Each structure stands twice: as structure tokens, then as C-alpha cells.
Structure 1
Amino acid sequence: MDSGIGGLSVVEQVNALMPSEDIIYYADTLNFPYGSKSREEVQELACQAADWLLDRGAKIIVVACNTASSAALATLRNRFSAPFVGMVPAIKPASAATRSGKVGVIATKGTVQGQVLADLVAQFATGVDVFTRECPLLAELVEQGEVKSSRVHTLLHQYLDPLIAQGIDYLVLGCTHYSFLRPAIEEIVGPKVSVVDAALPVARQVQRVLTERDLLSARQKPGSLTCHATGDSRGFLEMARRLCPGLCPKGATV
């Protein structure tokens, strides 16, 4: 589940690790973006999404949205008995690997100002300077399919240049939408800055939880991907095919 198309970057990793699993992707495009909403609003929307997915037989739910994970993961775990795996910015690996002692984080307002990020920094970034930047409009542009436009490039420079000036050598992508901007981001920050996100670690955690609970699919054939968008379903699928052509081929359902 995610507020839009960003979580498909996580679905790609889950599908690569567990290709026989059926995946139902809930994109709350009607209420996108979550980053500017109140904590209470995000909690309510996340619970609605979880209800919808559980009604359709979900055995585990991945909250593939940093904002929703920050605001609602504890609420979801308290309200539902199903296992939930959330997105958290990759502060731990970045802080462990940094050589300069300076790590940058780009994310939505909800994530930057949320308690989860503050707790991660306090727990894993002792002795490390962590510089955060709220990035208005970035997720919105990705949602519209803009990943290479001059407008995106200008915004990225606006958000990244101050972090580069601080001397960071690791940049954490704190929003799943930003994974689709990774090539442009890496071009701007240059080879001396490592760019990390949490998509693959989250997919591995999903695999661990399913294995521990003996819930992994034993089928040999590939699983299916079904997408549900609360807003414009046709537009969502068209954008998904553009950004994830291998994951969402022409025959994908929505």
C-alpha cells in the first residue's frame, strides 16, 4: 500500500525475491499526497487501506510509504492481527558506512518532521551529522511521470545542492517515489556520494516474516500483480507501465 505509484519500487524488489507470490497493490491516488496531511488523517487512510487489503486475503501488508509508516505503522499493528512491514529511512546502514560522518536525507514533510526519523537518528547516528531536507513537489512530479524533466532537475538541485555543500557522502532517499529519480539524483550528487533507499531491505524483511510464519508460496509458477487505485485507475496503470515496464506489462490488471 502507498499513496500513489512510489511503492511500486518496493513491489519490484518483493517480486524479484519472491516471484511466486501474488501481489495486490493499493494506491490511494484519490488522497495523494500523504506528505502534507496530518498524522491523524494518514492513520485513518492507512487503516482504510489495510481493511481493503485484508478483506481480499492479504497475508502480510507492506506499508510502502515512508509517511504512512511514520504516522500509522504503530496504529496498524495495534488494530490488526496481520503482520505489517513498514518503510523507514535507511539511516542505520548509511550512518554505519559514512566516511565523512555526514549523511543527507531527503523526504516529505511528514517524514522529516516525524518521530520515526528522529528516533532512527538518535539510535543509529551517534557521532554522525544528519542533514534533512523536505522536498515539496518531488513526489507529485513522479506521480505525473516526470522523472527526467527540466523542472525535476531544477528542484533536485534546489534540494540537493545544500546537502552536497555540507560534505555528505551518503544520501538517504526517504520516500519511495524518489527511487524513480535515482539516476537523476546520482548524476547531481556525483560518484563520491552513495545513494541508498530501503526498498531491498524491506523486501528482505517481508521474506523473513513470511518464512518465519511458514507463509511463503510453494508454487513454482509466477505470481500475479493486481493494482487498485482509489482515483483514476486507467491513468495509474498507464503511469505504472511507463515507470515499471517490466513489472506492469501491457496485460497487468487494475
Structure 2
Amino acid sequence: MSNSPIGLFDSGIGGLTIWKEVVNLLPYENTIYLADSKNAPYGEKSKEDILALSIKNTEYLIKQGCKLIVVACNTATTNAIDYLRANYNIPFIGIEPAIKPAALQTKNQSVGILATKGTLSSHLFSTTSSIYASNINVTEQIGEGIVDLIEQGKLHSEEMTLLLNKYIQPMIDANIDYLVLGCTHYPYLIPQLQQLLPDNVTIIDSGKAIAKQTKKIISELALFNTNTTNIHHRLHSNLNAQLMETFVAPNSHIKIEFADF
């Protein structure tokens, strides 16, 4: 199993922000990434639908022989990872909004969270927030429409600018000094967000932390790849594989293709 790939899935191309961090930290590991763009965004779906899609993606990656699965989607993690861990004999690594470090480090006692409806309404997020952020001001904002625009290749569109201004202004008014990005699509927006936010606001996403956790689990389970001479990365999309090429520079080790999963 050590030479088998790391599997990752998301409701589209957002999880590529996690995939990049994993590849950067673990350059000798093979990977398979699933972009379930056909069903994006997950954040507006019911818990039952999110669970069903997470099961489908998990079983696809298991059939591909993956040794570990990164649920590179906040919404899928907060709604499905407990079930996945209980029902599949494979290690899972999840991702949820980094409310804990923001709450512990804020000087203004005010932080903002930009996330999907599915994440903000989940039991896991509610529990984490109540433990670490009960004594500070938290401005929550559902990023409705953001994932759709990114999946349509409209990252730098006028529509995106209007949405971000609408969503960020209440956080500026609340004098936040930390902004937590609660969706793996959102790190693509960091340059635009930095232009909108005051200089004292720190933006937090979970990419590097997830990569470190992935390395930690692989180390603990002795699953490091031993065949380092033929590394390959397979990126699968069930809607628009070409879109991934705008976010990933293809090379001889990366194969981007359509897959009907």
C-alpha cells in the first residue's frame, strides 16, 4: 500500500488548493484528485445529498487503490467524515474552518468567517465555534455564488467583485483582524480579498495544516512511497477537465482528464 496514491476529493476545483500543498510537502507521493464539478457546489445541498456524494467519491478513490483519502472540502468534512471513518477501512483526513487559531490570536476580539451554508450550519462547525469562539465577536458570512463563479472560470469577473464587496464590508464594519476562509475554493480569492481588507487583517486558510497532517498520518502508518522514480498525479473532473488546466500547470507527471464518476 505504501506505493499507492493519496486520494483527494472536492466539489470541484477548490480542493486543488489543498492538493498543491500536499504535493509541495510530499513531492514523492502519487496522487489522484477528484473534482466533482458536476455536483458543485456542495454547500447548498442537504446533509443527505452531501453524504451520498462523499460516499460515491470515496468508493471511486478506493477502487483506484488509494492508501489514504483527504476530504478536501469543508462541507463534505463537516457533514460526512464521521460516517466515512466509521464505514471504510482507510485513513481519512478532513478540513474545517480554522476558527480555533483565529479565535486564539485575535487582538480585536473580532473575526470573520466566509464559508458555505453547509459548513456554517453543520454540527461540527457549531461545536468547534462554541468551544473556541464563544467569548469573541464572530461575523459569519455564507459565500453564496462564489463557488459557482469559480467553477465557471469567472474568478476575476465583475460579478465576483460585487459579491466580495457585499460579503466583506460587514466584516470590516465589525473591525475584524482575522478572516477565516471556510471553503477550499476561497484561497483563489486571497489577492482580491487583500485589496478589500485593511492591512491589519490576517487571512487564514487550512491548506498547509492539512498537508502537514497528511504527512503526519503517512509517517505514523509507515506509508511513505518507496518508488520515487516514477511519480504521477491524476486529476479527474466529471464536468470540465480543461478548467483545471487554468489552475494547474500540466507537466509530464500530471495527467488531467474527464472521468464519469
> Common fold, TM-score beyond 0.5?
yes
Shift, 1:218, TM fit: 2.8
Further displaced range: 140-149 or 201-210? 140-149
CA deviation profile, 1:151-198 (whole Å, cap 9, x unmatched): 111100000001110010000000000111111011111311100001
Question: Secondary structure of the equivalent of 2:256?
Answer: coil
- Counterpart of 2:198 in structure 1: which amino acid? G
CA contact (8 A) 2:119 2:182 kept: yes
Distance 1:225 1:39, change over 3 A: same
| Range moving further from structure 2, 8-17 or 183-192 | 183-192
**1:243 Cα deviation after fit:** 2.0
Counterpart mapping for 1:1-254 below 5 A? 1-221=9-229, 223-230=231-238, 232=239, 235-236=240-241, 238-245=242-249, 248-249=250-251, 252-254=255-257
CA distance in 2, matches of 1:130, 1:171: 10
Partners of 1:10 and 1:154 lie apart in 2 by: 26
Corresponding letter in the other structure for 1:244: V
Q: Secondary structure at the match of 2:33?
A: strand
> Normalising by structure 2, what TM-score?
0.91
CA distance in 1, matches of 2:10, 2:232: 18
Q: What is the CA–CA distance in structure 2 between the aligned matches of 1:65 and 1:249, rounded to whole Å?
A: 25
- Conserved? CA contact 1:59–1:83, under 8 Å: yes
Q: What residue identity is the alignment partner of 2:118?
A: G
Report how far residue 228 of structure 1 moved: 1.7
CA distance in 2, matches of 1:249, 1:173: 29
Cα deviation digits, residues 118-142 of structure 1 (max 9, x gap): 1111122242221100111101111
Partner of 2:10: helix, strand, or coil?
coil
Amino acid in structure 1 at the alignment position of 2:210 = V
Is residue 90–residue 197 contact of structure 1 (8 Å, CA) maintained in 2? Answer: yes
Amino acid at match of 1:2: D
Amino acid at match of 2:79: A
2-structure distance, mates of 1:180, 1:107: 14
The sequence identity of aligned pairs, in percent, is 35
CA shift for structure 1 position 252: 2.7
Q: Say which SS state the counterpart of residue 87 (structure 1) adopts.
A: coil
C-alpha deviation, 1:249, in angstroms: 4.0
- Provide the alpha-carbon RMSD of the alignment: 1.4
Q: Residue 7 of structure 1 contacts residue 176 of structure 1 at CA under 8 Å; is this kept in 2?
A: yes
Q: Is the 8 A contact 1:121 1:130 kept in 2?
A: no
SS at match of 2:129: helix
Alpha-carbon distance in structure 2 between the residues aligned to 1:118 and 1:17: 31
TM-score of the aligned structures, taking structure 1 as reference length: 0.94
Deviations 1:2-22 (A, max 9, x none): 010000000000000001111
Q: Where do 5+ consecutive residues of structure 1 fail to align? A: none
User: Alignment partner of 2:175: what SS?
Assistant: coil
Any stretches of 5+ residues in structure 2 without a counterpart? 1-8
For the residues of structure 2 that align with 1:222 and 1:136, how far apart are their CA atoms? 41
8 A Cα contact 2:40 2:147, kept in partner: no
SS in 2 for 1:252: strand
Question: For residue 217 of structure 1, what is the amino acid of its counterpart?
Answer: N
How far apart, in 2, do the equivalents of 1:80 and 1:21 lie?
22
